[in-house]
Amino acid sequence: MKVKELMDTNFIDVFPDQDIVEVSLKMEKYKKFTTSVVDHERKLVGWVTSIEIIKGLREGKKLIKDIMYTPKDVVSVNENDAARLAVIKASKYKVISIPVLNDEGKVVGVIRSCDIVETLSQLYEIKVSRIFEAMAAELKGVSWNELMEASAVVTKRQTGERITAKKYEKRIKNTTFGEAIWATGGLEKFFVGLIAIGEYVLARKVARARK
Amino acid sequence: MKVKELMDTNFIDVFPDQDIVEVSLKMEKYKKFTTSVVDHERKLVGWVTSIEIIKGLREGKKLIKDIMYTPKDVVSVNENDAARLAVIKASKYKVISIPVLNDEGKVVGVIRSCDIVETLSQLYEIKVSRIFEAMAAELKGVSWNELMEASAVVTKRQTGERITAKKYEKRIKNTTFGEAIWATGGLEKFFVGLIAIGEYVLARKVARARK
């Protein structure tokens, strides 16, 4: 995934010579805590957050250029960067939004921390059954019911819980990946469980072949 | 994980009768875009973002109570809620921070979207080798070298790439879970690969036992 797939193209920008009061009205209207400052080619020349606006209003400053951060102090990403890079930067610099530039330095979007949260949390919110469906589709010679049975056996072996294949199937329909990770005690344990299911499925195949 | 493990206890709060200018100085000083408004028992009675402060300053309002959101319009969580709930709320309401209350309604912390990004991204940033180490520790009768060999064989089978066990080992030391997901084409495919490794490892065990 690239930055351009994650970014919000619905952003505001302002000019360095614009009046602070006018900009404050624009930020209020669009409910934005930050705005890029651009020149007439839309190249990034500064960055302003609502904190600088407040300070500027209180101190009686007039223009955006009097209160803005200059590009060297602004965290930005390129639209073709890996989305991961934007996530790492947002996390490292603890910023709520990052301007996205194209190769010419023009502002083409904004990465917002709430969009990152949404995207990352979608991973957690995937239903476990979806993961199993993908596995069933790719595992050769293993039926859905066999997979559920193997999973129930592995669960019993690992947790002591007596669970039927039917109950297991019902459970994963209502469980998200995020919940499963917490329930199994961490990402690594979840993986170990999947490997164990793979082992078990093959053991059954071998046993069938011998009969 | 609970909200109280994810929340930031380093937050600011203000009173409804406080002067807007005074509060604006406090938000500036601590670089906060939002603040809880509390009564003298520290119970939540309102919420203010820098957008309301800007509007209040411009319109010549005097006190926080004249510009604040009232509790019914504020998204909050309880300190004992699952951290997932805060993530879901931050994502759904697209807010940059959420006040955290205890059972008495007192503000005890704040969940910030950048902290959520940091926590969620840590999952992505786990080195794949750490996942394999946990698997090796739990898989009975399978050595680290066998696991690497199985992984190399499965990789070759799935992608056509000729890779040695040594090269595979080196690769997972430098690869994060996030990168692996993109490289394998999604979470489900990554899981399918792990299952295939489990299958292969057992096939080898069976073959050894037959010899």
Alpha carbons B14 and B26: distance in angstroms, whole number: 9
Q: What is the pLDDT of residues A65-114, one digit of tens each?
A: 999 999 999 999 999 998 888 988 998 898 999 999 999 999 999 999 98
Q: Does B24 touch chain A (CB under 8 A)?
A: yes
Alpha carbons B176 and B155: distance in angstroms, whole number: 17
Residue A182 has pLDDT above 70, yes or no: no
Contact between chains at A191 and B135 (C-beta distance less than 8 A)? yes
Residue A11, phi then psi, degrees to nearest 5 = -130, 165
Considering the domain architecture, whether residues A107 and A143 belong to the same structural domain is answered as: no
Q: Does B84 touch chain A (CB under 8 A)?
A: yes
Nearest to B96 by CA among B32, B45, B9, B30: B32
Q: Does A30 touch chain B (CB under 8 A)?
A: no
- Mean of per-residue pLDDT scores for chain A: 89
Q: Does B183 touch chain A (CB under 8 A)?
A: no
- Residue B15, classed as helix, strand or coil, is coil
Considering the domain architecture, whether residues B61 and B115 belong to the same structural domain is answered as: yes
For B128, the closest chain A residue by CA position comes to A188
Considering the domain architecture, whether residues A144 and A164 belong to the same structural domain is answered as: yes
Considering the domain architecture, whether residues B118 and B142 belong to the same structural domain is answered as: no
Which of A122, A151, A170 is a domain's end point? A122
Instruction: Quote the minimal CA–CA distance from A94 to chain B in Å.
Output: 5
pTM here is 0.74
Q: What is the mean pLDDT of residues B24-28?
A: 96
Is the distance from CB of B3 to CB of B100 less than 8 angstroms?
yes
Instruction: Quote the minimal CA–CA distance from A135 to chain B in Å.
Output: 5
Query: Which stretch of DSSP H or E encloses residue B78?
Result: strand B77-78
Nearest to B180 by CA among A121, A118, A126, A123: A123
B64: burial class by Cβ within 10 Å (0-12, 13-18, 19+)? buried
Q: Could you list the residue range(s) of the whole structural domain that residue A31 is in? A: 3-122
What sign does the CA torsion over B178, B181, B187, B190 have?
A: negative
Output the DSSP codes for A43-80: BEEEEEEHHHHHHHHHHT--BGGGTPBPGGG---EETT
CATH code, B48: 3.10.580.10
Residue A19 has pLDDT above 80, yes or no: yes
| Predicted pLDDT of residue B182 | 67
When comparing pLDDT for B109 and A186, which is higher?
B109
Q: What is the mean pLDDT of residues B4-26?
A: 95
Considering the domain architecture, whether residues B118 and B182 belong to the same structural domain is answered as: no
Start-to-end Cα distance in chain A:
48
The count of structural domains within chain B is 2
